[in-house]
Structure 1
């Protein structure tokens, strides 16, 4: 449910191992399956850390949750401009009162537990997770060329540290930049903005701290 996440994107299967190493400091090739499972579910504060999503979430929703999903989606779309300017993001999460309330209306999204993942790996695997290498366990959990993934690893990230005025300026700056792109290509041979022109400096100052 993307509208219930402040900032996230899926980590693709081929990058899961590298992503975990980068954000944990541990070497995957030195770990066992149960160790990497513990690492994925280490306690995090304010949503910082690894997030695992059940890719079968929609099929497990009850009828009332699917009905609620319709108006929650509409609410998210309508409130997106205000939320972007005010907070720097457009989605919700379970770390705010309204996000938690909305999450309950559509069914629990972040309900994946370590024991659920362990049971999933062990139930039809040729090895128990304790006997797997970390890489084998990750392939079983998140999928590869042989497995269809049951779970997705989500990357959470923070918005840039711009001000609400700069975010508001994005609403007029983006159309202006798009309109000017053909002319900039003809004049300069490229459409990128930088500090070498007055136009570039003006736009960049309006929308960012760079």
Structure 2
């Protein structure tokens, strides 16, 4: 029975079933990550059908066969047994309620953020809407990538954090996976990421 197969067996069966279908790629992404780039990818890439899976555990989606490719953070995700290609960086932004004393600043430091009891160094694993709602009512202050900052509401300010490094985003896939669709997609994503960096407003 399929239910008795170990994880590797489930993955193999899933990939065998997918091989019989028309070419498509499933991309796992964390909600809010690289949203402007993703929008441009969806508009521009039509060589293969592209399906998105939104999840906080993108590496698990790769390893159990749910996704073919994932948009990963090189500094925090487990990249063991994965091939990766870096495509862009996101600068760190602090999400603050509009009335917060630091909200009107041109920039802040992590040390200043830590003085507020609502500050969480690790962005909580919840949807972007809930994160923004919590920030709005003063229950959360956290640091996100610049793509999330672009989607904030009027009640939330996004302020650059000067002493935290940028987050490097990379496309990752299983080492043993050799599909021409993945290679073509990664190359296209690299080209689109360059344009996105040059023209971020247009790309978003």
Normalising by the smaller structure, the TM-score range is under 0.3
TM-score w.r.t. the length of structure 1 is 0.24
TM-score w.r.t. the length of structure 2 is 0.24
The structure with more strand, counted as a fraction of residues? 2
The structure with more helix, counted as a fraction of residues? 1
